[in-house]
Amino acid sequence: MSYAIIRTGGKQYKVEPGKSLRIPTLPGDAGTKVEFNDVLLGSNGKEVKAGVPNLKGAKVTAEILKQGLGDKIVVFKFKRRKNYARKQGHRQGYTEVRISNITLG
């Protein structure tokens, strides 16, 4: 079973062909193909290749499934006896992608 570890949006993800995952927002609409060239480690099932810091010529191709917003996070600040209370909400954007191919180069 082949897999790779890629870096996107300041985070690292383990990806496998056919799997889908949510990553920080990427530009593009549903159906758009994207490539991740920042591959840190890869395996084809028999051998593991590690990059220093990246694998040369390796890439992971994926298809954007949808763009969306995550669950709401409530930020509440409060100071007792000071008549101070602030409530703020936040929804982080994400892009859901399906991994189609891993090329180790």
How many Cβ atoms sit within 10 Å of the Cβ of residue 89? 9
- The mean of the pLDDT values for the chain is 95
Q: Which residues contact 7 (CB under 8 A, 6 or more apart)?
A: 13, 38, 40
pLDDT, tens digit, 9 for 90 and up, residues 10-50: 999 999 999 999 999 999 999 999 999 999 999 998 999 99
Q: How confident is the model at residue 3 (pLDDT cuts 50, 70, 90)?
A: very high
pLDDT of residue 34: 97
pLDDT of residue 33: 97
Polymer length in residues for the chain? 105
pTM of the entire structure? 0.85
